[in-house]
Amino acid sequence: MAGNTFGKVFIITTFGESHGPGVGVIVDGCPPGIGLSTGDFVYDMARRRPGKRSFESPRKEEDQVEILSGVFEGLTTGTPIALFIRNRDADSRPYEKMRDLFRPGHADYGYYRKYGHFDFRGGGRASARETAARVAAGVVADKILKPIGARVICYTIELGGVRAEQIDLALIDESPFYCPDPDASRLMEDAAQKARSQGDSVGGIVEIRVTGCPAGLGEPVFDKLEADLAKAVMSVGAVKGVEIGAGFEAARLKGSQNNDPITPAGFASNNAGGILGGISNGDEIIIRAAVKPIPSISIEQDTIDRKGNAAKLTITGRHDATAIPRINPVLEAMVRITLADHYLRSKTIKILN
């Protein structure tokens, strides 16, 4: 029983592989009457696009989103919105030698053990290419969040061992890593460049903040808001950890430190990260995702072939030195999608209005 669908009311189903005709998504459950056109996707798709920065692969993807259904005379109709992004510039020849070798840290081995037959070119279905469809769906989700005043912001607080010391959200678009600390951003760039020059890669930590989220979203006891956010974030390749509010640090606090006092003016602190008992409390939602270093490195590695024989692998071709910042709009999209879904879900608990 496959798992390419996410959400229960705002429901997305993605499809497509790295080196097939393209990737896409069906958005089902989007309310009618929302203005939507191909232009709406340009900004977010561009942010996910590689090849703009020195530490990234020069692969050129245009990533134009085609609307195949669900929009009429510029407005959504309430029927499924199919979005398709054609693959271009997808030379699969460099992957021919991977036909038999499993790349360490990649999905190849798991796919082989599970499916037997899989499209290994560029990671196939497991490629980061698939996330283009998520970003497109996130643009639609954002159309639901905007009228209610909720906004999702995503930025890098750690990369290659460099930690942001200050968080000034006004500065994140000036940093190639969406880092809210300009000094840290420069050091991050050095770290990424250095790793790339060594044929290596680095990881980091991305923080996602939601402002203006109404109280009352989340469905205990399993579809708690933090549970669905954790799943959303962890479903993005390269993410190995997720935390809400104080997160792992909360494990070291006393109850008297960790509890957020409640005042007539609101919560006096936000260790909860905006979620109590699985339900948004109206405060800012804070999520952090641990992003592992990209597994495609040009340093020689030990592996095996499909028959189980030992082999040496040196990955050539274009590769980024870090999944950050390209993963940021993907994480942002997943949070948008989760919130749009829970917002629409929350509408079912009142009989009249």
Contact positions with its own copies (CB under 8 A) in 196-225: 200-205, 215-216, 218-224
Taking the least distance from each CB to its own copies, the nearer of 175 and 201 is 201
Quote the least distance from Cβ 287 to its own copies, whole Å: 10
Quote the least distance from Cβ 343 to its own copies, whole Å: 8
Site for its own copies contains 38 (CB under 8 A): no
Taking the least distance from each CB to its own copies, the nearer of 170 and 187 is 187
- Select from 47-55, 63-71, 164-172, 181-189 the region that touches its own copies (CB under 8 A): 63-71
Site for its own copies contains 179 (CB under 8 A): no
Quote the least distance from Cβ 47 to its own copies, whole Å: 20
- Which of 21, 58, 182, 317 lies at the binding interface for its own copies (CB under 8 A)? 21
Taking the least distance from each CB to its own copies, the nearer of 28 and 284 is 28
> For its own copies, how many residues bind (rule: CB under 8 A)?
157
Site for its own copies contains 234 (CB under 8 A): yes
Residues in region 239-298 near its own copies by CB under 8 A: 240-264, 268, 271-273, 275-282, 290-297
Quote the least distance from Cβ 46 to its own copies, whole Å: 22
Residues in region 108-167 near its own copies by CB under 8 A: 108-111, 113-119, 124-126, 130, 144, 147-148, 158, 161
- Select from 12-20, 47-55, 169-177, 178-186 the region that touches its own copies (CB under 8 A): 12-20
Q: Based on the number of CB atoms within 10 Å of its own CB, is 236 exposed (0-12), middle (13-18) or buried (19 or more)? A: buried
SS3 267: strand
Cβ contacts of residue 133 below 8 Å, gap of 6+? 14, 15, 16, 23, 24, 25, 83, 85
Cβ contacts of residue 7 below 8 Å, gap of 6+? 29, 337, 338, 341
* DSSP conformation letters of 22-76: EEEEEEESPPSS-B--GGGGHHHHHHH-SSSSTTS-------PEEE-SSEETTEE
Residues 320 and 177: their CA atoms lie apart, in Å, by 13
Q: Based on the number of CB atoms within 10 Å of its own CB, is 105 exposed (0-12), middle (13-18) or buried (19 or more)? A: middle
Quote the least distance from Cβ 201 to its own copies, whole Å: 4
Residue 326 CA to chain centroid, in angstroms?
9
Residues 14 and 26: their CA atoms lie apart, in Å, by 6
Quote the least distance from Cβ 60 to its own copies, whole Å: 21
Q: Which residues of 165-193 are buried (b: 16+ CB within 10 A; e: fewer)?
A: eeeeeebbeebbbbbbbeebbebbbebbe
Quote the least distance from Cβ 256 to its own copies, whole Å: 5
SS3 250: helix
Site for its own copies contains 346 (CB under 8 A): yes
Quote the least distance from Cβ 177 to its own copies, whole Å: 13
Site for its own copies contains 231 (CB under 8 A): yes
Quote the least distance from Cβ 57 to its own copies, whole Å: 14
Taking the least distance from each CB to its own copies, the nearer of 92 and 170 is 92
Site for its own copies contains 299 (CB under 8 A): yes
Joined together, the tokens standing for residue 47 give: 């942010």
Site for its own copies contains 170 (CB under 8 A): no
Taking the least distance from each CB to its own copies, the nearer of 170 and 258 is 258
Q: Give CA separation, 345 vs 143, 224, 253, 341, in Å.
A: 16, 12, 34, 6
